[in-house]
Chains A and B, each alone.
Chain A
Amino acid sequence: MKLNSFVKGILVTVGLYAALIVLFGAVTLFGMVEVNINGILFEESSSNILPSSIQYMYIFFIFVGVVLYYTSSAEKIEETIRPMANFVFNPEKKASIKVGQYTMYSVLPFFFAFVGYNQMTPKFPEPIALRVIHPAPPTTIKIFGEPHNLVSLENPYRQYEKSDPEEFKQLALEGGFIYFKNCFFCHGDFLDGRGMTSLNLNPVPANFQDVGTIAMLQEAFLFWRIGTGGPGLPDESWPWQSAMPIWQNILTQQEVWKVILFLYDYTPPQITPRTFS
């Protein structure tokens, strides 16, 4: 059977599009893990193979490629647009095409009316405002009643990592006690930001297992974020929205440093604090 190149073009585009969707869909499906938060089960993708924006980009290129191929020569253009021309001008005066034309002309107004109605109906979506997730820290900040320079501030316990590994281990363990007493309700047993209250909160609690969070930050940044909590954020990060408590009111300075030690110690080995040097 010989297919018209217009029909072929549509088939190839739709076929490749469907194959991509099925392939990506299947890949994400196998990557799905069941997440259990406080008794509520969620399915979520454990590995994002390709972000949706890249998927759309591929689909766009497929479409452009198909269009280019079927318009590569005069004959091909002619062959491709012939069915369209036949439908619109109907040179052979076929009855079947006439029916199609009338149907289209009667359906189109309804379609436009629907689009118009949809656009005119008032919608009341959630107000959108953009929030900075990792704001630039101030250079000096008053935490625990004394000013700290966040550029030069270092974890006083970090030195033990090399000089006294036994002591370091003990300090990280103590940090763990503090973590499981105060933090794990939101940040989770596995430090993955999936604690039992995490679903209630927006912004969601930080996932320390993620290489995009604490692995990108200096310990001083963490000290600032823990010490002053959500209300200590600059305005562009919405200090009114984060539920992070102001821990300097509850913990001591030493406890905060120990928790920071624990966060880096308990997460995968590639997650280490960044330094300015």
Chain B
Amino acid sequence: MKKNIFILLLSVLLVPGIAFGELVIREPFSEKAGDATAGKVIYETNCVRCHGEKGDGEGPDAGNMYPKPRNFTTGLFKFKTSAFKEKRPLDRDIYNTVSNGLPGSAMPAWKSSLSIDDRKNVIAYVKQLAKISGEAKDKINMAGWVPPTEKNLKKGKKLFLSRCSPCHGDAGRGDTTMSLEDEWGGRVWPRNFSKFYSFRIGNSPMEIFQRISTGIPGTPMPSFEDPEIGEDVLNTEQKWLVANYVASLEDRARFFDPTRGKILDAWKTDALPEDIEDTEPWQFSKPLTFGLTPQAAPGRPPLNTLIDTVTVRALNDGKEVALLVEWDDPSMSVLDDDDAATIIGDEDVFDDAVALYMPAGVATDNPKKPFFGMGDEKTPVNAWYLNSSNAKKKFTFRGSEKFDTASTENPCNPCAKNACNPCAKNACNPCAKNACNPCAKNACNPCAKNACNPCAKNACNPCAKNACNPCGKTEASKSEDSSFLQQAMYDKGRWTVYMKRPIKSSGPDDAKLEVGKASPIAFSIWDGSNNEKGLTHTFTDWYWLNILPQGKGGRL
């Protein structure tokens, strides 16, 4: 008996023992400088593809990157914690960048594949390429921390609105008012502070304080210690106030967490929202955020995308299902005479647009689905499509103004139920033989080679401004029949689209929704000011829209 208990105790004690041993064995970070000769070997096997042999950021793969790989030869380092007047970074700064990578760029976190010594050696070599000798002495003065109390956040907001909002937007969602470039000629989009995960280094008040203090060298982000910016200079306490406020803007509710599953629940409610401004019923819904993937399109690095998530809520009242689709877009892109969009947009400005796909004419329990996105010849999808310019026909919308386009009677309204489904058999069908479609034979298959390439300029693109677009010239009108309703609103860097449709299918080409069953659903988003149209867009694959016969928490 004693022996048994001894063995039991031993096996339980073994575990903390292993844990302690593991901690002791792990190598601590040594302050010893690296060896540049050994670093050169590491650099040439791992870094050269992007940063180039001379460290000029012109490696063979550099052309595909956005943002571009760093050019070390200028000696500029974006993320440093040495004082503003010191151009050199601390070794620790480069070490952190190499180890943790720069999220949102192509720089990977090397700590998973290079040892601490390898990383230190490569830093020594990078410093040699940058012609930096020694290490910066002065660090950022971080004294004067203030707690993030409500009063202090208010003070921080005031400073934020006067200094930061021209670039980062009033709500800090990166809805800039100007077109910004970095020193290397690349387009720069200011950070959306609500997306805490998109920060290159981190969004803790301390890290934001460091960026405010030194700026981001090489980019339009200035240092607020720099006397050149005149009276906008911030003292240490003010910097902490702003840093606390910026950190408080993070939005964890809209974070895309893949572990939350793929089911969007549409709980039952007594009354659906009447319009986009009726926000009260949404408290009974559960938002779900989807990650958006850039479509592989010829000639465009997929990294160059600004919209990475879309947040959706859904409700039903037994007869209709309502969806609220929200996404952050730094610019509202409207075609024609919109100066603001032209200033912000790259070369050409296209429409911002959203499409929501459901399999057309396929029963919910049929496991076979169409290809997400536009479907294919045999299995079409039913789409709700809304873009910013067909709405503008009727409404001017700026800031919080909104537009309606609800119609099932108007055959050429792209918002009519089947209009944007190229394979549907209705009047607005670009695939019909008599329609103005130059590539009729393969037009329904967006994947067919050379067929109806949506990237070709003005060719058969349902989203192009006027070319071959049966919907383009028609005035969108508000219909008497409000069975399909779509409303959109752009406010402070965020699009909100409200969509409502009957659950009952209207015909063989319509989506088959059923109460108590999950139906496949997918989304696509176009960012018109970032050269997105046609095939160039971001998408989700199939998720599920679950129309529940009961309210939240089992309420019947």
| A177 interface hit (Cβ, 8 Å) | yes
Residues in B whose Cβ lies below 8 Å from that of A19: 8, 11-12
**Nearest Cβ distance between residue A253 and chain B, in whole angstroms?**
13
| A164 interface hit (Cβ, 8 Å) | no
Q: Chain B's interface: helix, strand, loop or mixed, by majority?
A: loop
**Nearest Cβ distance between residue B247 and chain A, in whole angstroms?**
15
Q: Chain A's interface: helix, strand, loop or mixed, by majority?
A: mixed
| A38 interface hit (Cβ, 8 Å) | yes
| B184 interface hit (Cβ, 8 Å) | no
Q: By the criterion CB–CB under 8 Å, are B12 and A239 in contact? A: no
Q: By the criterion CB–CB under 8 Å, are A240 and B372 in contact? A: yes
**How far is it, in angstroms, between the C-alpha of A249 and the C-alpha of B369 when the chains are bound?**
23
Partner of B546, one of A124, A182, A189, A202: A124
| A97 interface hit (Cβ, 8 Å) | no
Q: By the criterion CB–CB under 8 Å, are B61 and A181 in contact? A: yes
Which of B211-219, B254-262, B405-413, B418-426 participates in binding chain A? B254-262
**Nearest Cβ distance between residue B295 and chain A, in whole angstroms?**
8
**How far is it, in angstroms, between the C-alpha of A185 and the C-alpha of B100 when the chains are bound?**
18
Residues in B whose Cβ lies below 8 Å from that of A181: 61, 63-64, 301
Which of B107-115, B232-240, B327-335 participates in binding chain A? B107-115
Partner of B4, one of A12, A176, A235, A238: A12
| A39 interface hit (Cβ, 8 Å) | yes
**How far is it, in angstroms, between the C-alpha of A40 and the C-alpha of B372 when the chains are bound?**
25
**How far is it, in angstroms, between the C-alpha of A180 and the C-alpha of B303 when the chains are bound?**
12
Partner of A182, one of B49, B296, B540, B554: B296
Bits for A184-205, please: 1 = Cβ < 8 Å to B, else 0.
1110011000001101111000
Q: By the criterion CB–CB under 8 Å, are A240 and B368 in contact? A: yes
Residues in B whose Cβ lies below 8 Å from that of A126: 261-263, 518, 544
| A67 interface hit (Cβ, 8 Å) | no
Q: By the criterion CB–CB under 8 Å, are B518 and A197 in contact? A: no
Residues in A whose Cβ lies below 8 Å from that of B19: 26, 30
Known: A15-B8, A124-B546, A249-B449. A38 touches B541 (CB 8 A): no
**How far is it, in angstroms, between the C-alpha of A184 and the C-alpha of B14 when the chains are bound?**
42
Known: A22-B15, A126-B263, A176-B49. A189 touches B108 (CB 8 A): yes
| B508 interface hit (Cβ, 8 Å) | no
Bits for B411-451, please: 1 = Cβ < 8 Å to A, else 0.
00000000000000000000000000000000000010100
Enumerate B353-372 residues with CB–CB distance to A below 8 Å.
Answer: 365, 367-372
**How far is it, in angstroms, between the C-alpha of A186 and the C-alpha of B49 when the chains are bound?**
18
Enumerate B1-26 residues with CB–CB distance to A below 8 Å.
Answer: 4, 8, 11-12, 14-15, 18-19, 22
Closest B residue by C-beta to A36: B109
Residues in B whose Cβ lies below 8 Å from that of A185: 294, 296, 302-303
**How far is it, in angstroms, between the C-alpha of A230 and the C-alpha of B261 when the chains are bound?**
22
Known: A129-B367, A185-B302. A241 touches B541 (CB 8 A): yes
**Nearest Cβ distance between residue B266 and chain A, in whole angstroms?**
10
Enumerate B290-306 residues with CB–CB distance to A below 8 Å.
Answer: 290-296, 298, 301-303
**How far is it, in angstroms, between the C-alpha of A189 and the C-alpha of B109 when the chains are bound?**
10
Q: By the criterion CB–CB under 8 Å, are A39 and B199 in contact? A: yes
Enumerate B501-556 residues with CB–CB distance to A below 8 Å.
Answer: 516-518, 539-542, 544, 546, 548-550, 554
| B67 interface hit (Cβ, 8 Å) | no
Q: By the criterion CB–CB under 8 Å, are A39 and B294 in contact? A: no
Query: Which of A39, A189, A248: most chain B Cβ within 10 A?
Result: A39
Known: A30-B22, A40-B197, A199-B258. A231 touches B371 (CB 8 A): yes
| A64 interface hit (Cβ, 8 Å) | no
Q: By the criterion CB–CB under 8 Å, are B291 and A190 in contact? A: no
Q: By the criterion CB–CB under 8 Å, are A231 and B199 in contact? A: no
Bits for A93-127, please: 1 = Cβ < 8 Å to B, else 0.
00000000000000000000000000001101111
Residues in A whose Cβ lies below 8 Å from that of B22: 30
Residues in A whose Cβ lies below 8 Å from that of B296: 182, 185, 245, 250
Residues in A whose Cβ lies below 8 Å from that of B368: 235, 240
Known: A19-B8, A26-B15, A127-B365. A39 touches B293 (CB 8 A): no
Interface size counted on chain B using CB atoms at 8 A: 68
Q: By the criterion CB–CB under 8 Å, are A240 and B197 in contact? A: no
| A33 interface hit (Cβ, 8 Å) | yes
| A132 interface hit (Cβ, 8 Å) | no
Query: Which of B296, B544, B549, B554: most chain A Cβ within 10 A?
Result: B296
Enumerate A119-154 residues with CB–CB distance to B below 8 Å.
Answer: 121-122, 124-127, 129, 145
Residues in B whose Cβ lies below 8 Å from that of A180: 49, 61, 64
| B117 interface hit (Cβ, 8 Å) | no
Partner of B113, one of A30, A122, A190, A249: A190
Q: By the criterion CB–CB under 8 Å, are B109 and A122 in contact? A: no
| A246 interface hit (Cβ, 8 Å) | yes
| B311 interface hit (Cβ, 8 Å) | no
Q: By the criterion CB–CB under 8 Å, are B541 and A201 in contact? A: yes
Enumerate A30-54 residues with CB–CB distance to B below 8 Å.
Answer: 30, 33-36, 38-40
Known: A33-B112, A200-B291. A23 touches B11 (CB 8 A): yes
Residues in A whose Cβ lies below 8 Å from that of B199: 39
**How far is it, in angstroms, between the C-alpha of A37 and the C-alpha of B376 when the chains are bound?**
32
Q: By the criterion CB–CB under 8 Å, are A241 and B369 in contact? A: yes
Residues in B whose Cβ lies below 8 Å from that of A249: 447, 449
Residues in B whose Cβ lies below 8 Å from that of A129: 367
Enumerate A194-250 residues with CB–CB distance to B below 8 Å.
Answer: 196-197, 199-202, 230-231, 235, 238-241, 243, 245-246, 248-250
Bits for B191-230, please: 1 = Cβ < 8 Å to A, else 0.
0000001110000000000000000000000000000000
**How far is it, in angstroms, between the C-alpha of A172 and the C-alpha of B81 when the chains are bound?**
40
| B103 interface hit (Cβ, 8 Å) | yes
Residues in B whose Cβ lies below 8 Å from that of A18: 12
Known: A177-B61, A199-B256, A200-B293. A124 touches B548 (CB 8 A): yes
Known: A23-B11, A126-B263. A240 touches B303 (CB 8 A): no
Q: By the criterion CB–CB under 8 Å, are A127 and B112 in contact? A: no
**How far is it, in angstroms, between the C-alpha of A121 and the C-alpha of B376 when the chains are bound?**
38
**5 A-B contacts, Cβ less than 8 Å apart?**
A36-B109, A125-B263, A231-B447, A240-B369, A243-B539
Given A127-B518, A240-B369, A248-B449, 17 new contacts (CB under 8 A): A19-B8, A122-B516, A122-B549, A124-B548, A125-B263, A126-B261, A126-B263, A126-B544, A127-B365, A180-B64, A181-B61, A231-B371, A243-B293, A243-B372, A245-B295, A249-B449, A250-B296
